Chain A
Amino acid sequence: MKTERNWGWPIAGYLFLGGLGGGAIIVSSVADLFLGRGDVFALGSFITAALIAVGSGLLVFELGRPLRFWRVFSRQKAIMTVGAWMLSLLIVTGFLYFTFWPDFSPWRPAVGLRKALAVLNLVLGLGVCTYTGILLGSLNARRFWNTPALPVLFLVSGLSTGVALQSLLAGAWPYAGGQEAVEALHDTLRAVDLALIVMELVVIMVYVLMMRTTAGSAAARAAARWLNGAYVKWFWGGVIAAGLLLPLVLYALGVPVLPALCVLAGGLILRFLVVYSDDRTFLPGEEKYLARLPRGDEAFLRAGTQQ
Chain B
Amino acid sequence: MTRYAMIMDTRRCIGCESCTVACRIGNKLPIDMIYNPVTTVGPVGIYPHVHMIHYPLLCMHCENPPCVSACPTGASQQAQNGIVWVEEAKCIGCKACIQACPYHARHHNHETGTVYKCDFCKGRLELGLEPHCVKTCHQRARIFGDLDDPESEIARLYNSVATVQLLPECDTEPSVYYILSAGGQG
Contacts and interface: CB of A to CB of B under 8 A. Distances in A.
Interface of A: 4, 6-7, 62-66, 68-69, 71-72, 74-81, 84, 135-136, 138-142, 216, 278, 280-281, 283-286, 288-289, 296, 301
A278 B99 contact: yes
B66 interface: yes
Nearest to B103: A283
A80 B96 contact: yes
Contacts of B141: none
Nearest to A64: B93
Contact of B40 (A66, A80, A135, A288): A288
Contacts of B166: 283-284
22 contacts: A6-B98, A64-B94, A64-B108, A64-B115, A68-B93, A71-B73, A71-B90, A71-B92, A72-B94, A78-B69, A80-B94, A81-B73, A84-B72, A141-B99, A281-B167, A283-B39, A284-B41, A285-B39, A285-B41, A285-B54, A288-B40, A289-B38
Interface string B1-35: 00000000000000000000000000000011000
Contacts of B123: none
A75 to B, nearest CB: 8
A72 B113 contact: no
Nearest to A79: B70
B55 A283 contact: yes
Contacts of B171: 140
Q: Could you say which of B57, B94, B101 has the most chain A C-beta atoms within 10 Å of its C-beta?
A: B94
What does DSSP make chain B's interface, helix, strand, loop or mixed? loop
Contact of A72 (B32, B69, B73, B110): B73
B102 A78 contact: no
Contacts of A296: 32
Interface in B133-162: none
Interface residues of B, number: 45
B122 interface: no
Interface in B43-61: 53-55, 57
A281 B102 contact: yes
B66 A68 contact: no
Contacts of B186: none
B112 interface: yes
Interface string B100-118: 1111100011101111000
Given A64-B91, A71-B72, A139-B100, 16 more contacts: A4-B104, A6-B108, A62-B94, A63-B94, A66-B92, A68-B92, A68-B93, A72-B73, A76-B73, A78-B70, A138-B70, A140-B170, A281-B102, A283-B55, A289-B37, A289-B40
Contacts of A79: 70
A78 B108 contact: no
A141 B66 contact: yes
Contacts of B41: 284-285
A141 B94 contact: no
A66 B120 CA distance: 28
A4 B105 CA distance: 12
Given A139-B100, A141-B101, A301 B95 contact: no
Contacts of A84: 72
Contacts of A135: 96
A274 B103 CA distance: 21
